[in-house]
Amino acid sequence: MTPEKITLVQDSFKKVAPIAGPAADIFYDKLFELAPQVRPLFPEDMTEQKKKLMQMLAIAVNGLTKLDEILPAVQDLGRRHNGYEVTPEHYGYVGEALLFTLGKGLGDDFTPEVKEAWAETYGVLAGVMIEAQNEAAA
């Protein structure tokens, strides 16, 4: 990832952070619309899950300039997904829901450049998680 893309992701996330609650609602509503089969993988009460989502996003986004420091946590999250019955296919739905949420939350500020930067960021992090998950399952 280029420094410019990292800056785009970090600056745009600062605009989403103040609406973390509604953003998490939009994200999970979209995820369950795209992939209703994943709903049973989550608790009935999503309050804590929504907080965890936004916390993990904040850690990942803030750590983009020092990937080597956050990669162990990202890998660990990927390994833990084995216990949640997450499949590699699910990551695509999550990425789509994330980009949808950012589009809604950022409005006109969700430019093609910002979208591309987020897609690349998610692709890198999801790839690390999938690899760690697969290694742990082997």
At 6-33, the pLDDT tens digits run: 999 999 999 999 999 999 999 999 999 9
**Mean pLDDT score of the chain:** 94
Beta carbons of 127 and 74 less than 8 angstroms apart: no
Cα separation values, 90 from 37, 126, 136, Å: 10, 10, 17
Cα–Cα distance measured from residue 8 to residue 114, given in angstroms and rounded to the nearest whole number: 6
Quote the pLDDT of residue 130: 94
% pLDDT > 90, the chain: 86
- Averaged pLDDT, 59-77: 92
Categorize the per-residue pLDDT at 99 as very low, low, confident or very high, splitting at 50, 70 and 90.
Answer: very high
pTM equals 0.92
Cα–Cα distance measured from residue 39 to residue 64, given in angstroms and rounded to the nearest whole number: 29
Under DSSP, the state recorded for 1 is -
Categorize the per-residue pLDDT at 83 as very low, low, confident or very high, splitting at 50, 70 and 90.
Answer: confident
Least confident piece of the model among 10-19, 58-67, 80-89, 109-118: 80-89
Beta carbons of 41 and 93 less than 8 angstroms apart: no
Categorize the per-residue pLDDT at 72 as very low, low, confident or very high, splitting at 50, 70 and 90.
Answer: very high
Q: Is 52 helix (H, G, I), strand (E, B) or coil?
A: helix
Beta carbons of 34 and 94 less than 8 angstroms apart: no
Beta carbons of 135 and 12 less than 8 angstroms apart: no
Whether residue 98 has pLDDT greater than 90: yes
